Structure formats: structure tokens, C-alpha cells
Structure 1
Amino acid sequence: MKSLFQKYKSVVTFIFTFLAVYFVLTFAYKFYLDWSDGSKFYPDYFTNLVARQSESLIQTFGYESRISPHPEEPSMKLIVNGKFVARVVEGCNSISVIILFVSFIAAFAGRFKPTFIYLLSGSVLIYVVNLVRIVILSIGLYHYPWRREILHTVIFPLIIYGMVFLLWMFWVNRFAKLKTKHV
């Protein structure tokens, strides 16, 4: 058993590091959500921020856009040209996706400075791509409401999780190259 552990030490270390970082960040995020009272920023600060930024981005594309708190659930209603097209819920703020990204990179960490810079820049990129995704979905739902299912269940994963996958692959390939150069 010990020889098996030694043989797969790097895999076991990766899995334990990934899970530890993921659970710590997820617990911290859940704690944040539980303590967000929604009095100043409804339903919570990050979801409200994403809704407001999405509203502004939609307006830059020439559409009239506004947001308002949803009266029946913790979300923001996104209205394009007077038509209610989408709800911005907690899951739309990209924090959970960023936690997944950070957990993977932390488990595959290299030197501190490049890892930290990559975590920061990758998280910002995911956040920005998520905003663009919400804008594309909202404008798409405005023009093609009958395509709601494909826009949300196919386009969403393709854009956001595709971006995370590409960032992971770039990191792994770059990290692997750095490791072989220094050996």
C-alpha cells in the first residue's frame, strides 16, 4: 500500500489539495451568502454588481436596459427594451466558477508569483467573460425567446466552462513546460 501511495503521490496530493481549497472557499462563500442581509445590495453584493454591470453593458450595445429586485425570489430582474428577459441569480455571478478555477490552479500550483498572477488574471477574465455571457444571453432572449433552453443550457456552459477549461489547459501546459526546463 505504501509503494502504491508513493507511486501516485502527486495524484493524491493534487486531489487532496483541490478538495481542501474547494471546500474552504465554498464554505467561506456560503458563509458570505448566509451573512448577506440584502438591505444595501439585493440579493447580495456580487449578484447585484453583476446585474448592474450587465445592465450597463447591454446599454452600450444600444438597448434600453434596467434591473429591479425580483419581488418573489432573491434575484434581480433584467429588462431589455421593456421586456423582462432574465433573472440574475446568485449562480450567475461567477463566484462558484471562480472557486472551481482557483481550486484547480492551487492544486497544480508552481512558484508563488506566477501562480498568484495567473489566479488573479484568470479570475478577472472569468468574471468579464461571465458578464459578456449574460449580455449575449439577455440580448439573445430578447430576440429569440423560444431559444431559451438552448441559450441557457448549451451556450452558457460552452462559454463559461469552456473558458475555465482553456485556462486550466493553458496553465497545465505552461506549468509542465516550466517544470521540464528547470529539471
Structure 2
Amino acid sequence: MKDFLPVLKILLRFVIVYIVLVLLYQFYLNEYENDVVDPFTRWVAQQVAFLQSIFGFPTVLVDSLKLHSILFQTEGRFTTRMVEGCNVISVVILFSAFVFAFYKGAKTFLYVLAGLVILHILNVLRIVMLNIIFIKYPQYERVGHDYIFPAIVYGGVVVLWLIWIQFFALKKTDKS
């Protein structure tokens, strides 16, 4: 049993952190269940609209309480809609739980914070690119939405996990 103790500790830390973060996020979402979207999702949509405008695709955000989403209106037509699931928080929760499973003191918190920023930026850029594809290359909407663009965020998570494991979690210290 002693051989499995380190693995069980890692697994237990992952499960506990994951459950705590999911519950906290759900409590947060419950506060906004009667709104169009939660404030963080709105903030992401505003950043997407701002970047699209910079890239030459002026975008207006239109609230849809019926759909519980924010619609992106670009070049006079609706391209996509921003829902809570597009704000990357659920992916960040998974990322954070994994990193905390291999806890290494204060650098764990710094790495999670840096990872949050990186994943947020990747997500905003992903949504911008997806909207541009919907405008310029509508024949690739489904492939872009269902396969290519989720791979950007999940690929980012995997790369960040690999970096954490390779350079921080399993790195030999001078005392080892």
C-alpha cells in the first residue's frame, strides 16, 4: 500500500480541488441564472468584440435572454453566440485541479495564475478566429467550431500540463 500512497495523494488532491472549484463556480453561476449571461462571460464577449473591431470586423453585442447568450453581430449579420460554456472557466477548473494535484508550494499558485491568463488569451483569440471564419469561410463553420477551435484551448491545456510536469512537478531538486 505504501507504494500507492503518492499516487493516491495526487488523485485525492485532484478530486478535492476539482470538486471545490466546480461547486464554487456553480454557486457563482447560480447568482446570475436569471441574467443573459454571467459577468465573466460578458467580459469575454466584450474582449472578442473589441479585438474583432481592431481586425476590421466591427462587432455589436446583442443580448438574448431567451437563448441565455450574447450574439455577435458582425457586418450586419449574426455570426456566433457567446454562452457560459465558451468562457473557458470549466477548462481552467480542470487545468487548475491537475496542476494542484502535483502541488509544489507557492510556484503552484503562480503557475496556475499564468496558465489562467494564457488560456484566457487563447480562448478570446479562438472565438475571434471562429467568428471570422463564420463571416469569411462559412463552409468551414462546423469543422472550425467542433474540431479545430476546441483543439486550440484543449491543446493549450495539454501543453501547459506537460510543461508543469516536466519542468516543475517532476523536476529533481538539489536535495534529491
Q: TM-score range by the shorter chain?
A: over 0.9
The one-letter code matched in structure 2 to 1:78 is F
Matched with 1:51 is 45
CA distance in 1, matches of 2:5, 2:133: 47
Instruction: Return 5+ residue gaps in structure 2 as ranges.
Output: none
> How does 1:54-65 map onto structure 2 within 5 Å?
54-65=48-59
CA distance in 2, matches of 1:36, 1:121: 27
Query: Would the alpha carbon gap of residues 176 and 45 (structure 1) be closer, same or farther in structure 2, given more than 3 Å must change?
Result: closer
Q: Note the residue ranges of structure 1 that are not aligned, 5 or more in a row.
A: none
> Within 5 A, what are the aligned runs for 1:3-152?
5-36=1-32, 42-112=36-106, 114-152=107-145
1:146 deviation in Å?
A: 2.3
Q: Which amino acid aligns with 1:175?
A: F
What is the CA RMSD across the aligned residues, in angstroms?
Answer: 1.4
- Greater helix share, 1 or 2? 1
Which stretch shows the higher mean deviation, 47-56 or 143-152? 143-152
TM-score with structure 2 setting the length:
0.94
Corresponding position of 1:154:
147
Aligned residue in 2 for 1:166: 159
CA distance in 1, matches of 2:119, 2:11: 23
CA distance in 1, matches of 2:6, 2:149: 33
Q: Is the 8 A contact 1:47 1:93 kept in 2?
A: yes
Counterparts in 2 of 1:146 and 1:71: CA distance versus 1, 3 Å: farther
1:155–1:182 distance in 2 versus 1, CA, 3 Å: farther
**In structure 2, C-alpha distance between the alignment counterparts of 1:105 and 1:176, rounded to whole Å:** 8
Identity percentage of aligned residues? 38
